Structure 1
C-alpha cells in the first residue's frame, strides 16, 4: 500500500522530497500512512533521549520556578519556528521539524557548562561535542528496535543533524574553521565512513531552516528568561540593543499602563516575528538569486541561503553580545555554572576510575577495555543524565554536593 498523495504537499523544486530519499542504512518496508521524514520525526519523539530533555536546563542551572525554559521547551519552540519557515519557503515541514526536534539530543546536563566540563575531561580521548553526541544517540545509543541499534533514520535526517550549521570539511578535505585546531569529532568521521554524509557540502534548506530557528528561539527565550529572573531590566535591554529599544518604545506608546509580564511577552513575540519575517524575506531573495532546481543545488551552491539580512545579522550579534554579558556571565550565574562544571568533572573521574559505580548496562566489560573506549562510555553515560540525576549521582558518590541555586 503506497502512502496517500495528500501526505505529500506541493514543494518547491529545491525542497527535500521524502519520495526521493537516499534511504536508510538498513532497509525497511515503507509505511502506508507516513512519509519517511514523518516516520523519523515520530521516532525521535519516542526516544528516551528526547524525554530526558524535560529535565535538562537551557541556560539556568536548576532554576527556581517552573516558567524557565528547559531543553525540551526550547526544542519545541525551535520546531514551531522551523515548521513556519519551511511552510513559507515551500520546504518539507516534516524534515525541518524533525531536525529541530533532534538538534539538542546530545546536550549534557547543566547546559553549555556541562558540555564544556565534559569536553575538558575528554580532551585526552577525542573531546566531547554535543552535535557528535546527537549523532551517536540516533545511530548507536538508543536501543529500541529489534533489528538495529539507534533509530535507523533517513540519510537526509542524519545529514541535516550533522551539517545544519554548515559543512564540516573544506572542499580539499581539511576541517572547517570551527574544527581546524582539533579536527572533526571522531564520532562524525566514524559514521561518515559507514554511510557518507557529504561533509564538505552544505545541508538541505530544511536543515538550514532548523538552524536559524534555533538562533531565533535562543535570542527570544534568553531575553524572556533573563528578564523574568531579574538578571537585567527592560530598560537595560532597550538601551543596549537597538531592535529591542524600538519595540519597547512602540509597546509603551501603545500600552502605557501594561503590566511587566505582558510587556516582556509583547517584546519577545515581536523579536521572534521580526527575525522570522526577515529570514523568510532574505531566504526568498537568496534562493531567487541562486535559482536552485534541486535539493542538491542547495547543497552545492557554496553558501548558506537561509539566513538573516545584513541589518538583522547586526541586530542578532548585538542581542547575543548583550545576553553573553548580562546572562551567561552574570554574577549570580557564574558561581553556579562553576559548581555545575565541578559536578560533571567529579562524576567523570569517579566513573572512569571505578566503572562498576555505573549501572551494569554501562559498566559491563569496561575494566578490561582501553582507556579511550572506557572514557567514551563514561561520557555517553554522563551526557545522557538530567540535571537532577547528575546531582543525585554526585550525592551518592561524594560527601558534599553543591547546591546549584
Structure 2
C-alpha cells in the first residue's frame, strides 16, 4: 500500500478526479457532514456504559464519540508529522498534518453510529432474535446463507458502514480515506477469521455493502488477504487506539464519579500511566475531587496519545505491507496499567447492578420490538397483513415506509427493520416498547 492512494479524497461513485482543496478539505467536509447528520445527533440518548444517566458527568455515546475524535485527531497529527517528512510526495501533493487529523477525526466521530440502543446487549438482542426466537428462525429459509450470517451476527461496525452509505441519511458519501480509517474489520460476515489478526475479530460490512467495499479496497490499494477480506487501512489503527484510550480511561472516571471505584484506586492506576510527571503534591493542591480526577484523566490521556503515536510510527511500514495486525495499546509502555484498568472495569463497572439491569431490560425491549416490526413488515410485503400488523406499521417513520415500498427480497426488508430498531435512542425504544405492549394506553 502507499500513502497517496490511502489518502484518497474521492467519494464512492465519483468518476472524475477532484483536486485537493487546502482551504476546506474534503476530509473536513466529512467531519461536518457527520456532525450535522441525524444518526450522529441521536447518539446523545444512547447508552455508553451507564443507562439513561442522571449524573451530568456520565458519558453518552455522543460525548464519547466527540472525545474519541479529539484524541484521534491528536494521534493522527503526531503520526502525520512523521509521514510528511518521510514521504515528500505527500507534501508535494498538498497534504498537511491537518488532513491526517481530519480523516481520523471524522472516522472517530462516526465509529459508534451503528450501535443500537442499550449498548452491547442491544447488539446481542438483534442477533438472538434470529437465532433463538421462533419468529426470527422463521426467516432462515427466506434468505441466502451469507445473508443469514449477517442477520444472526449483528455488528455495530458493519451497521455503521451501512448507515454512512445509506440513501436514507442525506447521502453522506464520505471520502474513501475516511471510510477506510472507519473500517476496523475489513471483511464480510461469511469469511473465515484468522484469530491471530485483530482486524478479523469481528466483521466490517454486510452483503449489501460488498460491492462498495470492493470499490473502496481497490481505490485505496488495500492488501487482499483472501476472498472478501483485506488488510486494514493503517489509519484504522489510530481510530482503534483513540477508542481504546477513551473508553479505558473515561469508563474508569465515570465509575469513580458514580462511587463504583474509589478515587484512591483510580489515582494509583492513572499515576502509573502518567509516570514521572505525576506529583502527589500538585494533586493535593487541587480543590475538589472532581477537578483532581479530571486533571489526572487529562494527563493520562496525553501520555497514552504520545505512546500510541510512537508505536504507530515504529510499525508504519509493516502496516503498509499488511503484516502488522494488533492493537497499538498492547505495544506501549503503559499496556500493563491498561490491563489493570480493564480488569478493574470488568469487575467493578461492567458487572455493576446499574449496568446489568440495563442489559437485562435491553434484551427484553429490543427482542419485542424487532419481533413486532419484522413480523409486520413480512406480512405486509410478502404475505397478507392482519389488522395488528397494520397497527404496528403505522408506528414506522415515513422514511422507512418509503424504502420498504421498493424492496424485492426478504433480506433487504429485514435490514431496513434493523436500520430502524438499531437507530432508536434508548428513550424512544422504551417508549415504543411500552406502546406496543399496551402499557401507554390513554386512560
Alignment RMSD (CA, Å): 3.4
Partner of 1:137: helix, strand, or coil? helix
Match of 1:176 in 2: 194
Equivalent position to 1:273, from 291, 295, 302: 302
Partner of 1:118: helix, strand, or coil? helix
Match of 1:61 in 2: 51
Partner of 1:354: helix, strand, or coil? helix
Residue 396 of structure 2 corresponds to residue 358 of structure 1: yes
Q: Deviations over 1:310-368 (max 9, x none)?
A: 53223222211211221111133212221122111111111112231423432455799
Structure 1 distance, partners of 2:342, 2:4, is 31
Of stretches 302-311 and 69-78 in structure 1, the one that deviates more from structure 2 is 302-311
Tell me: CA distance 1:375–1:222, structure 2 relative to 1, closer, same or farther (3 Å): same
The answer (yes or no) to whether the contact 1:238–1:248 under 8 Å persists in 2 is no
Match of 1:160 in 2: 181
Structure 2 distance, partners of 1:62, 1:107, is 16
Structure 2 distance, partners of 1:80, 1:246, is 19
State the shift of 1:119 in Å.
2.5
Equivalent position to 2:419, from 359, 369, 380: 380
Match of 2:385 in 1: none
Normalising to structure 2: TM-score of the pair?
0.73
Q: Deviations over 1:299-318 (max 9, x none)?
A: 32410488233532232222
Tell me: CA distance 1:159–1:182, structure 2 relative to 1, closer, same or farther (3 Å): closer
Unaligned 5+ segments in structure 2 are 81-96, 132-139, 141-147, 378-392
The answer (yes or no) to whether the contact 1:226–1:232 under 8 Å persists in 2 is yes
Structure 2 distance, partners of 1:183, 1:42, is 23
Structure 2 distance, partners of 1:311, 1:187, is 41
Match of 1:79 in 2: 69
Structure 1 distance, partners of 2:167, 2:28, is 21
State the shift of 1:218 in Å.
0.8
Q: Deviations over 1:204-226 (max 9, x none)?
A: 44332222111111112101111
Match of 1:293 in 2: none
Structure 2 distance, partners of 1:176, 1:346, is 35
The answer (yes or no) to whether the contact 1:109–1:387 under 8 Å persists in 2 is yes
Match of 1:218 in 2: 247
Match of 2:315 in 1: 286
Unaligned 5+ segments in structure 1 are 1-12, 145-149, 291-296
The answer (yes or no) to whether the contact 1:26–1:152 under 8 Å persists in 2 is no
Equivalent position to 1:118, from 119, 126, 129: 126
Tell me: CA distance 1:387–1:22, structure 2 relative to 1, closer, same or farther (3 Å): same
Match of 1:9 in 2: none
Match of 2:282 in 1: 254
Residue 138 of structure 2 corresponds to residue 109 of structure 1: no
Match of 1:208 in 2: 237
Match of 1:332 in 2: 354
The answer (yes or no) to whether the contact 2:311–2:332 under 8 Å persists in 1 is no
State the shift of 1:62 in Å.
0.9
State the shift of 1:399 in Å.
3.3
Normalising to structure 1: TM-score of the pair?
0.79
The answer (yes or no) to whether the contact 1:286–1:305 under 8 Å persists in 2 is no
Q: Deviations over 1:73-101 (max 9, x none)?
A: 11111111111111112251111111111
Structure 2 distance, partners of 1:141, 1:264, is 43
Structure 2 distance, partners of 1:210, 1:111, is 19
Tell me: CA distance 1:104–1:269, structure 2 relative to 1, closer, same or farther (3 Å): same
Structure 2 distance, partners of 1:379, 1:62, is 22
Match of 2:339 in 1: 317
Tell me: CA distance 1:209–1:14, structure 2 relative to 1, closer, same or farther (3 Å): farther
Tell me: CA distance 1:110–1:142, structure 2 relative to 1, closer, same or farther (3 Å): same
Structure 1 distance, partners of 2:201, 2:6, is 34
Tell me: CA distance 1:187–1:103, structure 2 relative to 1, closer, same or farther (3 Å): farther
State the shift of 1:385 in Å.
0.9
Of stretches 61-70 and 179-188 in structure 1, the one that deviates more from structure 2 is 179-188
Partner of 1:93: helix, strand, or coil? helix
Structure 2 distance, partners of 1:44, 1:182, is 22
Tell me: CA distance 1:143–1:27, structure 2 relative to 1, closer, same or farther (3 Å): farther
The answer (yes or no) to whether the contact 2:8–2:176 under 8 Å persists in 1 is no
Structure 1 distance, partners of 2:110, 2:118, is 18
Tell me: CA distance 1:54–1:29, structure 2 relative to 1, closer, same or farther (3 Å): farther
The answer (yes or no) to whether the contact 2:205–2:213 under 8 Å persists in 1 is no
Q: Deviations over 1:236-288 (max 9, x none)?
A: 4467x58559879955443436432122213212321221121122223334x
Partner of 1:302: helix, strand, or coil? coil
Structure 2 distance, partners of 1:311, 1:18, is 29
Match of 1:3 in 2: none
